[in-house]
Chain A
Amino acid sequence: MPPTNSDESRDLAFQEAIDADRTVEPRDWMPERYRSTMVRQIAQHAHSEIIGMQPEGNWITRAPSLRRKAILLAKVQDEAGHGLYLYAAAETLGVGRGELTELLITGRQKYSSIFNYPTLTWADVGAIGWLVDGAAITNQLALTKTSYGPYARAMVRICREESFHQRQGFELLAELSRGTRAQHEMAQDAVNRWWWPALMMFGPPDSESPNTAQSMAWKIKRVSNDDLRQRFVDMTVPQSRALGLDLPDSQLRWNEARGHYDFGPIDWEEFRQVVGGHGACNAQRIAVRRAADEGGAWVREAARAWEVRQQSRTSAA
């Protein structure tokens, strides 16, 4: 159907509202592409929280002290909470959690590729907290000002908890770094493996990021991939020194003229491979999520049947 005048004027009014920094709320009219972009982004974020429970959950039963076990268990639980909260935000756009889960386990929607890397040692729990949560916060702080109201508000709450997680990760690594030689080596090895994947979390360079222009105009995205990546590097380098751990990049140095750290080239081929489904854990992460969903079907079904029976009993009374 060709666009009519009224379609055009609605589009214009929508853009004007965005330009005036008004948030978009669930009942507002919005262009179909805005809605679908928002659904995709919120769903992808929700999926990342849920899949992200796996690499860290891998260490709960083996945590080396009861205090650390409690911290890790609570953290992974927070992630389930974030996932629930984000699925609820997606529901305001008319898409249910079940439908989105189905898209995830059939590989039609993605989650953050970082979770396709394995957690090989206890120090990986710290590296995820420090680097992966650190990168996520950098991203999400920018999203607290995103144009879709429910998503922006979810980000405010999630960022608060993520900052807490990041400090815990930093503290875990600090303890290892100044611990025994084996612990220090464990920490350095984890940082070596997680540093570059963390930088990839901001997505492809701006020059190759097809969605950026429209997303910026709609203020879904407020800061570009490369700018966010630079913020993260600038924030993290001094922290690595405080930890007494090296970042695995010989080209990393302060650039006085730019007022930023320069860093070496990112291996975008690795990024493409992992996003494309060929990372170490892609198949495993989806298989676990699918097994939980399918294995729990009889429980959810029983709960629904019981609910229906309770309701009919109440209405009969």
Chain B
Amino acid sequence: MHAMRRLLALTASALLAMPAAAQAHGLVGRRDLPVPSWLFAWAAAAVLLVSFVGLGALWHKARLYKAPEHRVFRVPAWFEIPLGALGVALLGLTIVSGLFGVQIDTANFAPTTFFVALWVGVPFASLIVGDLYAAINPLRALGRATGWLGSKLSGGNVPDALVMSERVGRWPAAVMLFAYAWVELAFPGKTDPSQLAVVIIIFCLIQAVGMSLYGTDQWLQRADPFTAWFSWVATLAPLRWERGTLYLRWPTVGNAKRRAIAGDAAIVIVAIGTTTWDGLSGGDILGPPLANLSNDVAKLGIFGVTWSNAVVQTFGMLIVVGLVTALIFAGVRGMIPASARRAAATRPSPDAPADGSPSPAADLDGAAPAGIDGAAATATITRPSPAPADGETKPATRTGPPPVRRLVREFTPTLVPIGVAYTVGHYLSLLAFQGQAFLPLLSDPLGHELLPGQGGWLGTAQWTINYTWLTSNAIWYLQVAALLIGHVMSLVLSHDRALERFPRKRAARSQRAMLVVAVVFTCTGLWLLSAVG
């Protein structure tokens, strides 16, 4: 099995390339664990192995995608307005404080809001309450308000929104997500509130132009990195909101129900890869070599010192994202036996027309799913098969295994729990401690020097951060639990999807490669986290 061999080789090379590292944003703390930290990786791998065997033995039918959801209650439509207004107010405050507030990153509202509340706080909350960002998204609120106003002023004569190509899918969001991670990890001005505010303004302008051309909802779903990633995170939540109605379901069921389109795999890969690089680059081991490398780049005289570091960070991010991509592709490719792939490559497709024109099955192979109505709130699926002469629709049939690209699109979203687990693991301490600064900064967003007793707008400006409420050991155990739960959830989702897509025996066999992927991510994640302290 060549794919499995490649997977092992890739794993080995990744291990050689990644010495121990510390997390960049986590607070360093000294742990006093009763057993060596690597034993946690062994235990986690054992749990994954037992889960894999248990799923193969006991879980014989795909059931998650058709699991029921129960309607809980409905909120009035006007409820969207104050939530949107709240988002707009926070966005405005972030920009104003960044531009006009004190230019110290820890005393200014903008960096904590942009890097902690948005990137860490919102996904944490979305895991419980569902897609929170969709409700408070300021761009959505502004886009809808502008659209409503434009429609009123023009008497309804608003030009139709352009329809984004299916092949484009959510690729713009994936690119923007990488850009956000670049700002967070590599941009030299990331600690300068005014530069950060300019970046946010540029981002908003890009989104505004896109929304005006493609419509608010379509553009945000396809090109807003936060809408795209957080909506995937929210698929794991037990609650789901749809048009003001709240539904209750089992956690992770939403992931199985959601259909992936082009670019979704890239979003998951970018989320996992950039978080991994964040943990890797901030450590004591890789930190000094990276600093030396930045100095060497600076000596070339092409970039300044700060931008040389940005160049090194950018290449590092690209390399790690590439490694994660290769690992996932190898894992998904390993789901199909090599002999089946070889046989499929040499077997002519029965769908191939004699005149050499593209076959209907070729449409299925492409990156874009068939028949998604991007402009609509719901998607409909049409079959690309040509109608037979008698007018009946006949599904296209395929010989041999499905192409790897399609499998990647179908199965990578099952790795969303791993991406979330990495986020929780890497940024838990950041949220637990730096997150406490949100309310004090909200009370005094411009960072004025307040007299003793002055509490700012909300009276919380003098609140201080409590660094003792969570011990280093507690953080470690929570990180291990998050990683373990995330990876087991991912195995369950992948197994269920395989059962949905393959006959039972083939489904169980296909998951061996995904088990290796899950074990690699678990051990690597714990390795990165263990280096703190």
Co-complex (A, B) = no
Spell out A's residues near B (CB within 8 Å). none
Spell out B's residues near A (CB within 8 Å). none
